[in-house]
Amino acid sequence: MRKNVKVVGIGQRKMGTSAKTGRSYDFTPVAVVFPDEGFTGYRAATINMQTADVMHNNVQKDAELDMVFHYYNGNITVDAIL
């Protein structure tokens, strides 16, 4: 799905190693709003984005991004920021 999203907030960076799986993680929660057919007005969501993607794409509060994403297990996964 491709949408224009507006960044309304950026959370604290979270990094470490999972005690359960032993795999490392490094992500930043990003709050966005975007138009959605199932909602009147805008839909709000929090996306856990890889920190490298946040830095590389210069994601900042109030930025408008052209984003490609999909839903997986009820969460949004970013495929690309155009």
Residue 6 phi/psi, 5° resolution?
A: -110, 130
Residue 38 clears pLDDT 90, i.e. is over it: no
CB contact set of 4 (below 8 Å; sequence gap of 6+): 34, 64, 65, 66, 67
More confident residue, 55 or 30: 30
How confident is the model at residue 70, as a pLDDT? Answer: 93
**Does the pLDDT value for residue 18 go beyond 90?**
yes
User: Is 82 in a helix, a strand, or coil?
Assistant: coil
Query: Quick check: pTM over 0.95?
Result: no
Residue 53 is predicted with a pLDDT of 86
> How many CA atoms lie within 13 Å of 40's alpha carbon, on the beta-carbon side?
0
Question: How far does Cα 17 stand from its chain's mean position?
Answer: 20
Mean pLDDT across the chain, nearest whole number? 92
CA distance from start to end of the chain: 13
